[in-house]
Amino acid sequence: MQDRKIEEHPFEPFLPENAKVLMLGSFPPQEKRWAMRFYYPNKTNDMWRIMGLIFFNDKNKFLAGNGYDEKLIREFASEVGIAMYDAAVRIIRLKDNASDKFLEVVEPIDLPGILGRLPLCRTVVTTGEKSASIIAEITGSSVPATGQKVEFECNGVRYAHCRVVSSSRAYPLAVEKKAEIYKRLFSEAGLVAF
């Protein structure tokens, strides 16, 4: 029988004061898959290629050697105003992989607490079905369809919950098409012109 070890989130929430968007994945992959110690660390994940395309028209902007330029990524996210964390902070992996399908959520994000630390944020972006479902459950709202949004209230403030496609390579869509979906929602949040 597999050891049902509870994993704690390995990263601190990344919460720049100027953040207009809070991006939430589900939970980081195992450390053996990391190319850096920051969000979306898996070299085969498309997140930083998507960001490179949207903001610099260069999908390789954040690549460095066999991994990513973590310093450049942190500076970029701080400057643009993108906060990052995950929808789950404690999980059990039901299989030895990074698949959301096999994540059992033990403890979800304290969404009111995190949003309370982001005074300019009015948009929560979830990067896939698992994170979107967790946030919908917390907020008591419906799960938005991919590329769509729903509204919810938290701490007396109205927010848009936008769901984008997964940045995982397991999601069968070209990185350029993924970037189009992200760019439209980032445009609506005031981060980039569309």
For residue 93, pLDDT over 60 is answered with yes
Region 13-21: mean pLDDT is: 96
Q: Where are the beta strands (DSSP E) in the chain?
A: 6-8, 21-25, 63-64, 67-68, 82-86, 88-93, 103-108, 123-127, 149-154, 157-164
pTM of the model: 0.91
- Pick from 175, 145, 177: nearest CA to 162: 145
Cα(146)–Cα(103) distance, rounded to whole angstroms? Answer: 20
Residue boundaries of the structural domains of the chain: 6-188
Fold topology of 6-188 = Uracil-DNA Glycosylase, subunit E (3.40.470)
**Which tens digit of pLDDT belongs to each residue from 106-125?**
999 999 999 999 999 999 99
> For residue 55, how many C-alpha atoms fall within 13 Å in the half-sphere facing its CB?
19
Q: What pLDDT band is residue 104 in, cutting at 50, 70 and 90?
A: confident
**Which tens digit of pLDDT belongs to each residue from 111-169?**
999 999 999 999 999 998 899 999 999 999 999 998 899 999 999 999 999 999 889 88
